[in-house]
Amino acid sequence: MNDFGNIWLPYAERFYKVAFHLLESGPDAEDAVQELYLKLWKARGSLGDVSNPAAYGISVLKNICIDRIRKRTIRQAEPLEKAPPLQDAPPETRSELKDTLRYLMNEMEKLPQKQREVLRMRAIEGLEYKEISQRTGLSQVHIRVLMAQARKTLKSRL
**Per-residue confidence (pLDDT) for residue 76, from 0 to 100:** 45
Residue 29 CA to residue 22 CA, distance in Å, equals 8
Query: What single DSSP character describes residue 49?
Result: G
**Distance (Å, rounded) from C-alpha 149 to C-alpha 115?**
7
Q: What is the pLDDT of residue 84?
A: 61
pLDDT computed for residue 69 by the predictor = 86
Q: Which pLDDT value is given to residue 154?
A: 85
Report the pLDDT value the prediction gives residue 100, as an integer from 0 to 100.
Answer: 79
Which residues of the chain, if any, have pLDDT below 50?
75-78
Q: What's the number of CA atoms in the CB half-sphere (13 Å) around residue 97?
A: 12
Alpha-carbon span 151 to 107, nearest angstrom: 11
pTM: 0.49
Q: Which amino acid is at 5?
A: G
The per-residue pLDDT for 102 is 84
